[in-house]
A = this chain, B = another copy of it.
């Protein structure tokens, strides 16, 4: 069975909301309530979950901890994931010091750059290597995911390198669209692109309120 990508993309949002509910001490939740928290219809949530099994109890709802565990397992979050960062400039250093990755099982285990000022230096107990050692390093100690924080002109080259070294998932902070072979996952983090999708609706000036169709996923 082939599960739609858009369904996979919603699962992390369900997991995030379930974590917040668990935090608050909630033990069960209905698709209705979960939907209200996320701005998604209850039918959508039930349908999404039904791709993977039966997790709820009629008349009651879903066990928060149980469903969270199931979703984490579906997403492969029941293990640790190793990542390599390329580009240790201002953004790269901020990424290295972000504590939001580890609690979800994501760990940066290598960092690369070209700048002689940066190569050899230590950030967050990680020594920056020259990017020319990337293939060799990843052959010795492989990673699952590459994180790219270099200028856009250098990004394609860096991504090619990561792919050649066997990396099959890229988190791309550079404002460009890379070409990758099929089977390699890429996700873009680009605040400017997101801002630009909002200005379209803003420019309709004070008067207009409802213009948008259904909101394409990344809303909210």
Residues of A within 8 A of B (CB): 2-6, 8-9, 11-13, 15-17, 20, 37-39, 74-77, 79, 81, 90-91, 94-95, 97-98, 100-101, 104, 106, 144-145, 152, 168-169, 171, 175-180, 182-183, 185-189, 191-203, 209-220
- Which of B106, B180, B220 has a CB less than 8 Å from the CB of A195? B106
Could you say which residues of chain B place their CB within 8 Å of the CB of A200?
A: 8, 11, 74-76
Say whether chain A's binding surface is mostly helix, strand, loop, or mixed.
mixed
Enumerate chain B residues within 8 angstroms of A218, measured Cβ to Cβ. 9, 187-188, 217-218
Closest chain B CB from A214 CB (angstroms): 6
Given contacts A168-B202, A185-B219, contact A104 B196 (CB under 8 A): yes
Across the interface, name the chain B residue whose C-beta is closest to A78. Answer: B203
Interface residue from B12, B101, B175, B177 paired with A37 (Cβ < 8 Å):
B177
In the complex, the count of this chain's copies comes to 2
Question: With a CB–CB cut-off of 8 A, which chain B residues contact A101?
Answer: 191-192, 195
List the 4 shortest-distance A-B pairs measured between CB atoms, nearest first.
A76-B203, A12-B196, A183-B209, A187-B194
> A185-B219, A213-B5 in contact; A97/B104 too (CB < 8 A)?
no
Q: Output the nearest chain B residue to A94 by Cβ-Cβ distance.
A: B94
Question: Which chain B residue lies CB-closest to A81?
Answer: B199
